[in-house]
């Protein structure tokens, strides 16, 4: 979005707000913390932060616009994968492992695109990932859950009134990752599921049957 906005309005100063924010909780005044990533650095943040901060809504400074955007995009795809695991009733151990290994993919991909590790580890990366992947209310999660329950990809996609962003993001992520030789096996599996190339139970078999190897090696 930042690239599109810069093209459309090249003289504007760009900032990105991202983080674990269910809108209904923000509206209810429940405490929420977000990343406010400023392309112009800290002086821009000092202007913007007091304007949007409330006692229960706390923007944290970052100068990493790319990192803030990547966290929000990748987490939608990983939430689909978590939904698949939930739809197949594979339990909470499997979901937690998937979140940790999905975060490793987010970190590898983000760093290849110039994002900072601390942004990806922060509110807009890990924080948003944890929220989206734990909530059955998320649109992406519920799409994955339908796939896990055996609904065909075509049917699961056509029957939705709301947009599951991750379904559109997944193939773009996979392409960008492949161009940079970044391994993203969970994202690749979500792509295959959405394309109808793989039923959900076989997708999980593939992820579980990978050879025993070191953590974080791919």
What sign results for the dihedral spanned by CA atoms 170, 121, 146, 161? negative
Residues linked to residue 35 through DSSP beta bridges, in sequence order? 18, 60
Catalytic residue among 75, 116, 145, 175: 75
Is 93 among the residues that bind a copy of itself (CB under 8 A)? yes
Q: Are 21 and 35 in contact (CB under 8 A)?
A: no
* Exposure of 170 in the CB half-sphere (CA atoms within 13 A): 24
Q: Which two tokens stand for residue 57?
A: 């809504």
User: For tokens 């075509």, what's the residue?
Assistant: 154
φ/ψ bin of 160: left (φ > 0), alpha (ψ from -120 to 50), beta (otherwise) = beta
Is 147 among the residues that bind a copy of itself (CB under 8 A)? no
Look up 145 and say whether it is catalytic.
no
The widest CA-to-CA distance across the chain, in whole angstroms, is 52
- Rounded Cα distance between 164 and 144, Å, is 10
Nearer to a copy of itself by C-beta: 31 or 150? 31
Give the nearest distance from C-beta 123 to a copy of itself in angstroms.
5
Is 215 among the residues that bind a copy of itself (CB under 8 A)? yes
Site residues (CB under 8 A) for a copy of itself, limited to 121-140? 121-123, 125-128, 130-131, 134-135
Nearer to a copy of itself by C-beta: 9 or 137? 137
Scanning 21-29, 157-165, 183-191, 194-202 for contacts with a copy of itself by CB under 8 A, the matching segment is 21-29
Scanning 5-13, 18-26, 142-150, 172-180 for contacts with a copy of itself by CB under 8 A, the matching segment is 18-26
Scanning 57-65, 145-153, 167-175, 176-184 for contacts with a copy of itself by CB under 8 A, the matching segment is 57-65
Task: Give how many residues touch a copy of itself by CB under 8 A.
Answer: 57
Is 19 among the residues that bind a copy of itself (CB under 8 A)? yes
Q: Are 98 and 78 in contact (CB under 8 A)?
A: yes
φ/ψ bin of 150: left (φ > 0), alpha (ψ from -120 to 50), beta (otherwise) = left
Residues linked to residue 103 through DSSP beta bridges, in sequence order? none
Cβ count near 57 (within 10 Å): 16
Quick one: which of 2, 14, 17, 49 contacts a copy of itself (CB under 8 A)?
49
Is 107 among the residues that bind a copy of itself (CB under 8 A)? yes
Contacts with a copy of itself by CB under 8 A lie at: 19-22, 25-26, 28, 30-33, 35, 49-50, 53, 55-56, 58-62, 90-97, 99-101, 103-104, 107, 118-119, 121-123, 125-128, 130-131, 134-135, 204, 208-209, 212-216
């Amino acid at each position: 979005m930042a690239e599109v906005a810069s093209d459309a309005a090249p003289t504007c100063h760009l900032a990105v707000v991202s983080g674990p924010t269910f809108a209904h909780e923000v509206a209810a005044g429940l405490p929420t913390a977000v990343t406010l990533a400023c392309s112009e650095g800290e002086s821009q943040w000092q202007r913007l932060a007091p304007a949007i901060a409330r006692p229960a809504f706390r923007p944290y400074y970052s100068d990493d616009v790319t990192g803030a955007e990547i966290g929000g995009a990748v987490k939608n795809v990983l939430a689909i994968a978590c939904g698949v695991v939930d739809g197949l009733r594979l339990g909470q151990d499997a979901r937690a492992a998937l979140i940790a290994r999905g975060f490793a993919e987010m970190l590898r991909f983000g760093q290849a695109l110039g994002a900072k590790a601390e942004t990806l580890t922060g509110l807009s990366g890990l924080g948003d990932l944890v929220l989206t992947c734990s909530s059955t209310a998320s649109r992406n999660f519920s799409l994955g859950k339908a796939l896990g329950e055996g609904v065909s990809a075509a049917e699961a996609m056509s029957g939705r009134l709301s947009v599951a962003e991750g379904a559109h993001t997944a193939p773009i992520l996979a392409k960008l990752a492949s161009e940079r030789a970044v391994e993203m096996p969970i994202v690749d599996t979500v792509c295959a599921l959405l394309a109808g190339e793989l039923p959900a139970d076989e997708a999980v078999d593939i992820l579980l049957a990978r050879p025993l190897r070191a953590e974080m090696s791919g």
